[in-house]
């Protein structure tokens, strides 16, 4: 692991690090905020997965999460959204390829060689973090924005409460199996058999499995990508499942980090209640 930068932040440390990933076969970069309490022992962890076109840096610099993480004594992990660099497959569109992994393990060429982001987020990076830093593996939660909200929901429900105590999402992709943000990408990454797509459709997983813990979802009513996100599908699945938690529509808010930063305190407090329960 290589330290790229470390900056004191709200009494804790905001670091950026890189490491060789066995899952992706590439060097990967991530951000990690450690609150002051990490100097004395392991602290709980909140994973933040970012959306299309983002890197580890977007949420780290725009969400304003560190102030609340410091107040609640929670570490924040900001992974990258895909493998990158020379030799990594890419696409001319912004919603496919580098910066647009959809947090799946690709099975189709040319993506399968490096695009194994499910394994990276759930196995590879956690193994490194819990070995190198004062983090408590028994107290984890997960959140994300847009494509990262889709990843937080599918990974959170997929691994269940044995890994995560709570799940939240900002403007998540809710129904990837019949959306412009999903059908092309899942087809190219995973092949034509749609049975392979179902673990990566948040509404389907919610309806079939749900989560043994609370879920919080916020979406703005002025979100410019409403038709692609399909929030109604997830709201209906949560209702039919009787999923503990809340699906909230925030009047006038769009898809931007102005929206995320407006409600980050709510999400941090939501996770803190579960991580310290």
Domain ranges of the chain: 2-275
pLDDT of residue 193: 95
pLDDT of residue 228: 97
CATH of domain 2-275: 3.40.50.1820
Distance of CA 86 to the CA centre of its chain: 25
pLDDT of residue 261: 98
Radius of gyration of the chain (CA): 17
Residue ranges of E strands in the chain: 2-9, 12-20, 27-34, 43-49, 75-79, 135-144, 167-170, 215-220, 245-250
82-187-166-74 Cα dihedral, nearest 10 degrees: 0
Please indicate whether residue 171 is annotated as part of the active site.
no
pLDDT of residue 249: 98
Active-site position among 56, 145, 150, 255? 255
pLDDT of residue 225: 98
Please indicate whether residue 255 is annotated as part of the active site.
yes
Active-site position among 146, 168, 171, 179? 146
Active-site position among 166, 223, 267, 271? 223
Order of strands across the sheet with 27-34? 2-9, 12-20, 27-34, 75-79, 43-49, 135-144, 167-170, 215-220, 245-250
**Which residues of the chain carry a pLDDT beneath 50?**
none
Q: What is the pLDDT of residues 178-231, one digit of tens each?
A: 999 999 999 999 999 999 999 999 999 999 999 999 999 999 999 999 999 999
pLDDT of residue 171: 98
Please indicate whether residue 223 is annotated as part of the active site.
yes
pTM above 0.85, yes or no: yes
Cβ–Cβ under 8 Å, residues 59 and 65: yes
pLDDT of residue 158: 98
Give the Cα separation of 155 and 45 in Å (integer): 15
Q: Report the relative pairing of strands 215-220 and 167-170 from DSSP bridges.
A: parallel
């Amino acid at each position: 692991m290589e330290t790229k930068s470390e900056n004191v932040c709200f009494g804790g440390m905001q670091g950026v690090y890189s490491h060789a990933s066995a899952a992706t076969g590439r060097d990967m970069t991530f951000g990690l905020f450690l609150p002051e309490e990490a100097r004395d022992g392991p602290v709980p962890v909140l994973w933040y997965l970012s959306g299309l076109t983002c890197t580890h840096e977007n949420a780290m610099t725009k969400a304003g999460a560190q102030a609340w993480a410091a107040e609640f004594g929670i570490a924040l992990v900001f992974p990258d959204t895909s493998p990158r660099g020379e030799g990594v497959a890419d696409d001319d569109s912004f919603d496919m390829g580098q910066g647009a992994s959809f947090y799946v393990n690709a099975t189709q060429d040319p993506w399968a060689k490096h695009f194994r982001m499910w394994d990276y987020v759930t196995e590879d990076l956690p193994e490194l973090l819990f070995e190198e830093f004062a983090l408590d593996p028994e107290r984890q939660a997960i959140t994300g924005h847009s494509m990262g909200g889709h990843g937080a929901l599918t990974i959170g429900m997929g691994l269940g409460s044995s890994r995560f105590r709570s799940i939240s999402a900002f403007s998540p992709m809710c129904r990837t199996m019949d959306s412009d943000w999903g059908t092309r990408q899942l087809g190219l990454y995973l092949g034509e058999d749609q049975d392979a797509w179902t673990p990566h459709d948040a509404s389907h997983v919610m309806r079939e499995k749900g989560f043994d813990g609370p879920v919080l979802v916020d979406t703005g009513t002025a979100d410019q990508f409403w038709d692609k996100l399909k929030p109604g599908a997830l709201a209906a699945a949560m209702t039919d499942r009787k999923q503990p938690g809340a699906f909230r529509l925030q009047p006038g808010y769009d898809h931007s980090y102005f929206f995320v930063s407006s409600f980050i305190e709510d999400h941090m407090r939501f996770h803190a209640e579960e991580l310290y329960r």
